[in-house]
Chains A and B, each alone.
Chain A
Amino acid sequence: DVKVTQSSRYLVKRTGEKVFLECVQDMDHENMFWYRQDPGLGLRLIYFSYDVKMKEKGDIPEGYSVSREKKERFSLILESASTNQTSMYLCASSQDRASSPLHFGNGTRLTVT
């Protein structure tokens, strides 16, 4: 069974801090994704990566960057955290880019104060 692990379940950071959210998958998937989930807005794609060192912007990339140095690891970076980035962040991986199921991690609830 695919396992996607996010390093933190809950995180509290201060405005202006640099924040790293880490995600690791164990199924040798090429594709990894970062989504943000907010009530009433569903899941919105921030960034995705289809190979090591490759990245593509999703629908809401502003204020975020990503890093994929190894196939199994995909990091989301908030360069300077702001209160409007308080949200649930979900990492996912999949075998195919957009025609196979996404396997999600448990999510990281980030609060920026």
Chain B
Amino acid sequence: GENVEQHPSTLSVQEGDSAVIKCTYSDSASNYFPWYKQELGKRPQLIIDIRSNVGEKKDQRIAVTLNKTAKHFSLHITETQPEDSAVYFCAANLFSGGGADGLTFGKGTHLIIQP
């Protein structure tokens, strides 16, 4: 079936370095790609999203890139800080029949920032 693959499952980086998380999706009709951050014991919260009409979007230290041809999108975090430690989820809207069936999530990446 339609799905979203996310890699890596765990990522450990030194504080101040960059982190990159990658996702691929299967439905060429997908046009909305959000990223969520979930801190321990808390709800997932949107940190950035991108639509299919743009290839890149940036918000301070966070950026997302989208390659529609290859059907993959990536989250880039620069100058990582301890508070960036969390689980990150990518998602895409997958279509079946005549309408969108909601967002399908990747399995998550546990990002660990080493001091």
> A residues bordering B, Cβ < 8 Å?
33, 35, 40-45, 48, 56, 58-59, 90, 97-102, 104-107
Contacts and interface: CB of A to CB of B under 8 A. Distances in A.
Given A41-B107, A43-B89, A101-B34, A107 B100 contact: no
> Main SS of chain B's interface residues?
strand
A42 B1 CA distance: 16
Given A43-B44, A104-B43, A104-B44, A98 B106 contact: no
A98 B103 contact: yes
A98 B44 contact: no
Contact of A105 (B31, B43, B101): B43
30 contacts: A33-B102, A35-B105, A40-B108, A42-B89, A43-B89, A44-B105, A45-B101, A45-B103, A48-B101, A48-B102, A56-B101, A58-B101, A58-B102, A59-B104, A90-B43, A97-B100, A99-B31, A99-B32, A99-B93, A100-B32, A101-B34, A101-B49, A102-B34, A102-B44, A102-B46, A102-B103, A104-B43, A104-B45, A105-B43, A106-B42
